[in-house]
Structure formats: structure tokens, C-alpha cells
Amino acid sequence: MALTPLMSSTAVVLMAFAAAAAVALHPAVAAVSYDRKALVINGRRRILISGSIHYPRSVPEMWPDLIQKAKDGGLDVIQTYVFWNGHEPVPGQYYFEGRYDLVQFIKLVHRAGLYVHLRIGPYICAEWNFGGFPVWLKYIPGIRFRTDNEPFKAAMANFTAKIVNMMKSEGLFEWQGGPIILSQIENEFGPLEWDQGEPAKAYASWAANMAVGLNTGVPWVMCKEEDAPDPVIDTCNGFYCDYYTPSKPYKPMMWTEAWTAWYTGFGIPVPHRPVEDLAFSVAKFIQKGGSFVNYYMYHGGTNFGRTAGGPFIATSYDYDAPIDEYGLLRQPKWGHLRGLHKAIKLCEPALISSDPVVISLGNSQQASVFRSSSGYCAAFLANYDSESSARVTFNGVHYHLPPWSISILPDCKTTVFNTARVGVQTSQMTMERVGGFSWQSFNEEITSSNDESFTTVGLLEQINVTRDNTDYLWYTTYVDIGQDERFLQNGQSPVLTVMSAGHSLHVFINRQLIGTVYGSIEDPKLTYTGNVNLWVGSNTISILSVSVGLPNVGEHFETWNAGVLGPVMLNGLNEGRRDLTWQKWTYQVGLKGETLGLHSLSGSSLLEWGEVPQEQPLMWYKAFFNAPDGDEPLALDMSNMGKGQAWINGQGIGRYWPGYKAYGDCSDCDYRGTYNETKCQTNCGEPSQRWYHVPRSWLNPTGNLLVVFEEWGSDPTGISMVKRTIGSVCANVFEMQPSMRNWHTKENENSKVHLLCDFGKKITKITFASFGTPRGVCGNFSEGSCHAHKSYDPFEKKCIGQQRCSISVVPEVFGGDPCPGTMKRLAVEAICG
Ligand SMILES: *[C@@H]1O[C@H](CO)[C@@H](O)[C@H](O)[C@H]1NC(C)=O
Ligand SMILES: *[C@@H]1O[C@H](CO)[C@@H](O)[C@H](O)[C@H]1NC(C)=O
Ligand SMILES: *[C@@H]1O[C@H](CO)[C@@H](O)[C@H](O)[C@H]1NC(C)=O
Ligand SMILES: *[C@@H]1O[C@H](CO)[C@@H](O)[C@H](O)[C@H]1NC(C)=O
């Protein structure tokens, strides 16, 4: 279909780039601008579907496949943040290699034919360590982050310019023939501005001007920043954004973060968002006139090494995204959204050239109709009722709308998609054990001292001392006990109290572990209190304070403390209470094993490793292994372990903490009704994260080194390598509407079940089939009160022994209607072998 671009008279064309115009071939057309309806690329308004994929959260070997899967899923744009602390670990020393090869990532997106939305930030939040800021930034004299502060603004301007110039010199902006159509400065600043007033306003306006002054030739956005100064576009982030109106009538309605679920934290349940609701929220946004939607995340990936923010952000950043942490399609999420994107694209000519007219179809039902003067018509029929389905009449035709759903009619007649009718199969993933390890151990020293240890009076803030080069800081002091202490006779041991700003600590008395405490994602502070056995003479109190990711969000989070700030008290002595806070304390940064580089092949080979002892705290373990065959993604099953870190061939797998069980509400999940991050959770009472992704590309065929540092003292023989594979496939679809049955429409496709096994596998067994009112989810279906007795028959006949099969969801196929008048669905589960 040929499109007639309608440039509105209020179009703001960002052509303020003299240099750009000189380089571009057709500067008048080859530009990205915007108007009140949409981004305008090369003179044409576009409805754009985007997805976040963060390059350092996977490995370069995964990038082409992730990008291709995003393209196949119907995306036009890949959105990524830029990770300052990964790129400038030391002031003025830049790193753009490996997982941080930003240019290579953008070039791969370009090669796949997709656009890029580059969110430079450089504050990015992102559940990333320190919100993306390098820790050294905190120690620039006089600095205050994200406010009208000269040292901060100078550093921010420097890094932003560095990235923009790099993109220009690589020819990556759209006017240069590259893929970047959009940038972002700052990130979710609105809430801070609200709290801080004038200095924040001045800073926001400075940031916008600084960015615009870099002449990128593409628009800038500021998300969650309603005051975004012209020409920067203010955009919405959230679970729903249909309520959002840009601050100026000539700016388009854009959704920079459509949350596909939420992050995982240690100690909290794992969030999931039903695809029916996600699709509903996107359709609702488009029907209101929105023209840009970005899924945050489309592939979440992994917080490798110590990159997780926090504190207490988990290593997995899966986000229940359409492409899972391992790079596999998450079905039915990926497939159902793909159907949504196709339907939206069919509506694009009408969407970009008209404004919606809303018609009421019932109490909670309405139609949004886009009818252009050139004859295009697209309609969205919505049922906002969160309980019941509805039958509506639109243009004289009856339509059946499931609860909390939107049907899309690209020609104002034919339903090609309904957000609640998921016709795509579900793949039930399993973690299949492929082997264990044979371990050796090395005992970490308790209170060792090295060249860098030092002694001073009083307690020091942890990050001030470690500069976050390690999670670990030892605090050591001594307590003299006289022979006349009464507790030596009466057996009432003194009580030690240690107060810490976070995030976790282990207390040792005379080298014996006496306790472990840790904070939570809501409150990182913690207090240790316990009885201690002290002997006559000098006793050593050693506290290993452990950080678990630096904060990534919150007002002036750069000033938040970690570590043992006290008081530290000893109660129950003859003198009553002895305050140890202002004694001399000896500090040692990091573990001995870290100094020795035990995580690496070279470091670990320098010393003798021993047998694995019975559950001892602070132990290093190492094992060699060969790469499992096949190409399925791999993970470590750490479910038996407590807390620590793991490395493979020197690369950081991340922090593991299965010992921290998730506490929360995991009751049933219904797609209907307003979603929030606590609604559809799993893992209550279990580890928040059990499996840890091992990228295949980090392995050699043989002789791989796995090193684990375990703080709590769990037995490593329980660790195993697992492969992620498809266990069973399921489908769960509504029956076809009677009124639609005689039509040859795409809805017929929507009302068929398709089962498909991986290449080389066949359907070996139907483990469940019910046409009626089945309940439950893939892996745990059960029959409802209505069930057709011949539910299994068509599957047994047409599917067993096949790689794929399709069955129409109409009563005749299952031996007749088991409960006339009730809206039925079909649930089926099959095993591929
Ligand atoms: C800006 O970058 C230049 C060159 O890399 C460096 O010399 C300067 O110190 C930086 N300034 C700030 C404030 O970071
Ligand atoms: C961090 O160290 C600096 C000096 O290096 C000191 O002025 C500051 O008070 C310390 N901060 C804390 C919280 O201890
Ligand atoms: C989140 O959703 C749950 C379940 O629907 C609800 O009980 C809770 O109040 C919601 N929380 C917020 C903050 O809206
Ligand atoms: C299976 O579903 C039933 C109810 O439909 C529920 O009570 C049970 O906990 C579920 N089992 C699992 C393993 O999810």
C-alpha cells in the first residue's frame, strides 16, 4: 500500500545540524523528525515497535541471534542504554570491547535492518551497579549527582559528547546512513525534579540543551520528565501508558518502557506478566494515538560479574521478556506479541493519518476508529470489563470480546487479532541435568592481613575504602578480657551488637564464625546481635562486611552508605557495656583469594588445593569440566548453595544467593484486571534465583575451570550443569466464535491450535487435552466442570509421530458441544521426544 505522508503544519523538523546536512545525501528527506502524531523518518510518519536489549547483559556471540529473533518478532527498533561504568572504568581510560562493544552491537542491529534508540543517559538506573555511574565519579571533589552541580555536569557532558562523537565518526546516525533514529538524555528525572525543585529544573534544562547542542540530527527524548524542554520529547514509562499526554500538543505520544514484567531481587518472588495483559496495554496505547512502543525488556539477559545494581538485585535479569535470559523464545509471549505487531502494522496507514474517534459500545466497551480522508479505516474494539466477556455490535456486525481485551480490525470489519486470544503454543522449559563436578578446595583466610591492610581509629564507610573494587571488606578489632570478668564464672556470655548500613555480614570471634546477617531489598541496613564466647586475654573480632550491588536509584544515592558504621557494642562485662566503635580497627580490602586471582586459571594454578571439607564458611572451590555437547543454553544449578560468586574460565557468572528464599505472595495469577509487579509471582518459599546462565561462548571443548567462592559453607557437590530445553508444548485457546465460522478470515487461524516440536523432534505423547472449561497452566492443566469426552481423539490421530499439527477449535472436532451457551476453550499439552 502506498502511503501519503501527512506532515502537520506544526511539524518540528530537527534540521539544526549544519554538519549533518553537508554529509547526508538528500538532507531534505534523509532526516528524522517528529510531529504531533509520530516520528517522521525520511518524510514518513511511522508506527514503531521497539524492544530493549542491553548489550552487556549477553555476550557478543548471542547478539546476532537475539537481534534476528527481535526482527522476526515484528520489531522495528532495538533500544539500549549506554553503560558508562563499563566504558570508562578509570577516568579517561575507555573500554569498548567484548560485551561492551557498543559500535559492533549497533552495526549488527543495522545489518539486520532495524533502527536503534540509543539511551545515553548517562544516568541509566537499569538495576545496574550505581545506575551506570562509575564509582570514581563519586570521589570527584564537590560532586553531587544529577543536579545543578558543575563537576557533575562537566563529567556528564564529557561522556555524552564522547558517545555522540563516537557514533558520528562511525556513521551510525540515520542521516549518515546508520540506524540511530532517536537518543535519550537523563532517565526518569521527573520524580526527582518534583522533589527537589529549582536546582533540579535548572539541571534538566541544562541537560536538554547540552544534548541538543551535540547536533545528533535525530530527536532526543527524556522519559518520565514531563517538563522536557523543547525540542526534547517527554515520554512515558510504565505498565500502562494510554493515559499519557505529551507536554506539548506538537509532540508525539511515545512509550519508552512498556514493562514486560519486573526485575528479580534476592529475597523476593519472581515477577511475571501475562502476555494477554501486556498485549492489551499496548493495543490500548496504540488505540489512544500512541505511535512508539518499546518493550522493557525484550531480552533482559544477565547481570554478569558484579554488574547488578541494588542492593540485592539478582544476577538474572530475565524480566519475563519475550526472549528469555538464555536467548530462547519465551512462548506464548513472543509469538502472541508478534501477532499483535502484525495487526498493528496492518493498521499503520490509518493510524498515522487520522485521529481516533471513540464510540461507546456498552458500559465497559468502546470502539476507537481511525478513518483517514484517503479512505483507510482501522478499528480497535475494547472490552474493559475485567470479569466478563461481551458481545458488541459495530457497523452492524456482532463481535465477541473476551474480558479485558481489545480486538484489532485493520479494515474496520475483520478481527485479525484479539489481545486475550492466545493462539500461540506455550513451551514449557526444563533444566535437564547434564553432569556434576569433582571439586577441590582452598580455605579463605579469616582476618589475614596483606600489604594494603591498615589500622585507624573508628569505623569507615565501606565503599569509601573498597571503591567497589570488591564486595568484601574486613573490619577487625581486639578485645581484652580480664581474669576477673564475672561471665567467666556465671556462664552468662557477653552479647555483641554490630550495626551496619548493609548489605550483609559475617561475624567471627577468634576465627570462629558466630553469625551471618543480611538486609533486604526494602531495607539494606542490618544488625547482628548474639552471645559470644570470649577467653581471658586478647580476643579477635573480625567482621566480613559484604556489599551486594550499589544503589541504582533514589535521591542522591551516591551518598548512601554501606558497611559497618556502628555502633559496635559488647554488653555483659563487669563494666557493663564496652563501646568498640571508637577503638582501633584494622581494615583489609577484599579476600586473600581475590588478591591471588583464584578465579582465573593462572591464579588458581599457583597453589595447592585440597579435599573438600565438611561445610565450612569462606571456601573457594574449583573444578575442571568439558563442555556439554549440543547447542542448548547452559546454566549452573546452585540450589544447594548459600551465597557467593562463581566464575568460568575467569569470567564472572555473577553473584549467587539461593540461600536467600523469596518471601511474598504467589497466589493465583489471572491476566484480567490491572497488573502490577506483585501480581503474578513465583518462587515463594524457594530461592529467588536457582539457575545461573553460563554462556556457551565462554567454554572450551575441554578443560574449563569453574571456581566458586562460597561464604556460608554449603557443600559444592550439589552443584550441577544443566541444559535448557523444551520439556512439553501446550496450547490454550478460546473456541472460535460461531458468528465467525463461515468467514474465511485470519481469526480462523487464531482459533486453531498449532503444536510444534523443535527441529528433529516429534510429538510422542498427549499428556492432557480438554475442550470445555479447563483450568491451570501449561504443565498443570486440569479438567473443569465442562469437558468434551472426545477431547484427546483428534490429537491422538493427527499429532502423534508428527513434528507439527493443527486442530480447529470447534465442537464437532471433539464429538459435539459439551456445554452449549458457555464460552469454551481448549487446553492441550504434548511431549516432544
Ligand atoms: C573530559 O575529558 C577530557 C579528555 O578525555 C579529560 O581530559 C577531562 O579531564 C574530562 N573532564 C571531566 C570533567 O571529566
Ligand atoms: C569518605 O572518605 C572521605 C575522605 O576520604 C571522608 O571525608 C568522608 O567523610 C568519608 N565518608 C564516610 C561516609 O565515611
Ligand atoms: C498490586 O496488585 C495486587 C493484586 O491485584 C493488589 O492486591 C495490590 O494492591 C496492588 N498493589 C499496588 C501497589 O497497586
Ligand atoms: C496445579 O494447579 C492446582 C489448581 O489448579 C494448584 O492447586 C496446584 O498448586 C498447582 N500445582 C503446581 C505444581 O503448580
Class of domain 726-832: mainly beta
- State the distance from the centre of ligand 3 to the C-alpha of 382, rounded, in angstroms: 23
Comparing 28-32, 281-285, 373-377, which segment has the lowest mean pLDDT? 28-32
- Distances in Å between the Cα of 314 and the Cα atoms of 290, 303, 680 are 33, 8, 18
Residue nearest to atom 7 of ligand 3 (CA): 679
The rounded distance, in Å, linking the Cα atoms of 375 and 390 is 29
Same fold: 47-330 with 430-442+595-718: no
Pull the grid cell for residue 752. 486453531
Tens of pLDDT along 743-757? 434 444 456 788 988
Active-site residue (options: 188, 226, 445, 555): 188
Measured at the alpha carbon of residue 93, what is the angle toward residues 92 and 99, in degrees to the nearest 5?
Answer: 130
- Which is it for the CA torsion 209, 212, 213, 214, positive or negative? positive
- State the distance from the centre of ligand 2 to the C-alpha of 462, rounded, in angstroms: 10
- Distances in Å between the Cα of 48 and the Cα atoms of 45, 59, 351 are 9, 26, 12
- State the distance from the centre of ligand 1 to the C-alpha of 467, rounded, in angstroms: 20
The finding on whether 148 has its CB within 6 A of some atom of ligand 2 is no
Look at the block and give the residue holding cell 549467587.
656
Ligand 1 atom nearest the C-alpha of 154 is 13
The answer for 435, left when phi > 0, alpha when psi is -120 to 50, beta otherwise, is left
Helix (H) / strand (E) element for 256: namely: strand 254-259
Asked if CATH classification 2.40.160 holds for the domain at 430-442+595-718, the reply, yes or no, is no
Pull the grid cell for residue 718. 550439589
- State the distance from the centre of ligand 4 to the C-alpha of 332, rounded, in angstroms: 20
In CATH terms, the fold of domain 47-330 is TIM Barrel (3.20.20)
- State the distance from the centre of ligand 4 to the C-alpha of 680, rounded, in angstroms: 14
Task: Say whether pLDDT at 649 is over 50.
Answer: yes
Q: What is the number of helices (H) and of strands (E) in the chain? A: 15, 45
Proximal ligand: closest to the CA of 458? 2
Q: Which amino acid is at 265?
A: G
Which residue out of 666, 780, 785 has the highest number of ligand 4 atoms within 8 Å of its CB and is therefore the one to mutate? 780
The rounded distance, in Å, linking the Cα atoms of 77 and 86 is 23
The set of protein residues with a Cβ atom below 6 angstroms from ligand 3 is: 676, 678-679
Specify whether 257 is catalytic: yes
**Order of strands across the sheet that contains 619-625:** 440-443, 619-625, 704-710, 644-648, 651-656
Spans of all domains in the chain: 47-330, 354-420, 430-442+595-718, 445-590, 726-832
Residue nearest to atom 14 of ligand 2 (CA): 461
Residue nearest to atom 7 of ligand 2 (CA): 464
The pLDDT score that the predictor gives to residue 823 is 81
* Section 483-512 average pLDDT: 96
Active-site residue (options: 127, 225, 257, 558): 257
User: Who wins on pLDDT, 21 or 57?
Assistant: 57
- Distances in Å between the Cα of 113 and the Cα atoms of 144, 152, 587 are 41, 37, 54
Tens of pLDDT along 400-435? 999 999 999 999 999 999 999 887 888 888 999 999
Task: Say whether pLDDT at 260 is over 90.
Answer: yes
Comparing 41-50, 616-625, 633-642, 758-767, which segment has the lowest mean pLDDT? 758-767
Ligand 1 atom nearest the C-alpha of 91 is 14
Tens of pLDDT along 369-384? 999 999 999 999 999 9
The pLDDT score that the predictor gives to residue 738 is 53
Options 2.60.120.260, 2.60.410.10, 3.40.30.10, 3.40.190.10; CATH for 445-590 is 2.60.120.260
Tens of pLDDT along 591-619? 999 999 999 999 999 999 999 988 899 99
Q: Tell me which residue of 276, 272, 274, 325 sits closest to 298, measured CA to CA.
A: 325
Q: Supply the pTM of this predicted model.
A: 0.92
Residue nearest to atom 8 of ligand 2 (CA): 464
